[in-house]
């Protein structure tokens, strides 16, 4: 069974063809990132205008790459939320139009759950139940999953999402946007133990808080680096900051990154312990971070927990994960109709 997935929750426009919910035949992703960079974050108005321009072309590419025709599709699975309203509506409207004209069933799926499902693509089955950690630009949550129709939230961020903290710290360090990959690169040249940052405690142990550490980095920079920094810095100067080995900026990035990773590991292990499970599944854009992946594998192995990550490409927003999750839910009898609406959160 061929499923067409559509994902337009943020700045990406993606379409994918997935067979039987598991094997990815194509996964085309385009992004309007280049148009947002100068604003230091995603501008919703720009995002959905670019998505309107590209969605049909991207879907066409996905069909061509998978070497199948529209008439071969048996299900259209589309991200219905959470995300940016205008962006979600582009994907949902496109999916509805296709579903109506081709008489193919339609299903709206949750973007966050599809990040977890990315672990099930192109690989062997992961036994349930398991604990899942989703770390993305908009969300940070721990879940207990018996199956994809029964997902229990164990904890969530009380303020900033984990990826958002990477993006904000990168902005403070004037590295550029999106911040995650830039902080990761810079951290390789820094000492993660050089500065003592910490993530704020939360009343509920499985919740997260990242706004405190972001502010701590801001004050650290103000007190220690301000004179060397100017908002008028050129791109070349910013680049040299990333290249500069052993710099104080690299130490800040590495110490911040390590503290966030330690917190994520500590809470994930606690969730596994409380739910008595030995499987931890991680997804979302921040899960592409190599240092994080390495540390999670090390720490989970010490306590006999098996840890799963999607490939780096499948950690990012993509339509294959949407198609795959849609297939599993459709098999259970779920479907949507033309009243499908965008869910903002």
- Residue numbers at the binding site for Zn ion (CB under 5 A): 136, 317
Q: Which region, judged by CB under 6 A, interacts with ligand KG4, from 47-55, 130-138, 238-246, 265-273? A: 130-138
Token duo for residue 291 = 């240092």
Residue 163 Cβ, how far from ligand KG4 at the closest point, in Å?
3
Q: Which lies closer to Zn ion via its Cβ, residue 110 or residue 317?
A: 317
Say how many residues touch ligand KG4, by CB under 6 A.
20
Window 283-312: residues binding ligand KG4 (CB under 6 A): 284-286, 288-289
Residue 180 touching ligand KG4 (CB under 6 A): yes
Minimum Å distance from CB 79 to Zn ion?
Answer: 9
**CA atoms of 10 and 25, how far apart (whole Å):** 23
Q: Is position 81 an interface residue for ligand KG4 (rule: CB under 6 A)?
A: no
**180 interface partner picked from ligand KG4, Zn ion, none, CB below 5 to 8 A per type:** ligand KG4
| Given 8, 30, 54, 136, the residue binding ligand KG4 (CB under 6 A) | 136
Question: Given the complex with Zn ion, which of 184 and 317 has the nearer CB atom?
Answer: 317
Of residues 222-281, which lie at the interface with ligand KG4 (CB under 6 A)?
none
What's the rounded Cα separation, in Å, for the pair 46 and 38?
Answer: 12
Distance spanning both ends of the chain, measured CA to CA: 30
176 binds ligand KG4 (CB under 6 A): no
Question: What string marks each residue from 151 to 170 as x (binds ligand KG4 by CB under 6 A) or -?
Answer: ------------xx-xx---
What whole-number distance in Å separates Cα of residue 3 and Cα of residue 321?
11
Q: Minimal distance in Å, beta carbon 168 to ligand KG4?
A: 9
Question: How far is it, in rounded angstroms, from Cα 284 to Cα 287?
Answer: 6
Which one of ligand KG4, Zn ion, none is in contact with 179 (Cβ closer than 5 to 8 A by kind)?
ligand KG4
Locate 236 and state its tokens: 């070349």
Give contact residues for ligand KG4 (rule: CB under 6 A). Answer: 10, 136-138, 163-164, 166-167, 178-181, 184, 284-286, 288-289, 316-317
């Amino acid at each position: 069974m061929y499923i067409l997935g559509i994902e337009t929750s943020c700045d990406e426009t993606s379409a994918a063809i997935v067979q039987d919910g598991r094997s990815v035949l194509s996964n085309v992703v385009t992004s309007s990132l280049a148009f947002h960079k100068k604003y230091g974050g995603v501008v919703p108005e720009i995002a959905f205008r670019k998505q309107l321009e590209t969605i049909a072309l991207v879907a066409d590419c996905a069909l061509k790459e998978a070497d199948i025709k529209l008439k071969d599709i048996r299900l259209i699975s589309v991200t219905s939320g959470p995300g940016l309203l205008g962006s979600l509506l582009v994907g949902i409207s496109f999916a509805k139009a296709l579903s109506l004209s081709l008489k193919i069933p339609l299903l709206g799926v949750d973007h966050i759950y599809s990040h977890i499902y990315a672990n099930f693509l192109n690989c062997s089955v992961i036994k349930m139940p398991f604990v899942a950690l989703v770390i993305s630009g908009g969300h940070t949550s721990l879940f207990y999953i018996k199956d994809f129709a029964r997902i229990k939230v164990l904890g969530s961020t009380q303020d900033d999402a984990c990826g958002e903290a990477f993006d904000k710290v990168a902005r403070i360090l004037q590295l550029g946007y999106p911040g995650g990959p830039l902080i990761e690169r810079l951290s390789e040249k820094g000492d993660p133990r050089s500065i003592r940052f910490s993530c704020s405690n939360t009343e509920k142990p499985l919740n997260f808080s990242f706004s405190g550490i972001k502010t701590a980095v801001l004050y650290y920079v103000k007190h220690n680096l301000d004179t060397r920094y100017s908002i008028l810095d050129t791109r070349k100067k910013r680049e040299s900051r990333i290249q500069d080995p052993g710099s104080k900026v690299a130490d800040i990035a590495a110490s911040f990154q390590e503290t966030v990773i330690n917190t994520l590991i500590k809470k994930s292990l606690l969730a596994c312990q409380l739910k008595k499970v030995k499987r931890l599944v991680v997804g979302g854009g921040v899960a592409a971070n190599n240092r994080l992946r390495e540390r999670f594998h090390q720490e989970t192995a010490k306590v006999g927990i098996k840890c799963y990550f999607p490939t780096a490409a499948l950690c990012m927003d993509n339509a294959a994960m949407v198609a795959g999750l849609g297939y599993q839910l459709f098999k259970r009898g779920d479907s949507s109709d033309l009243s499908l609406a965008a869910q903002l959160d």
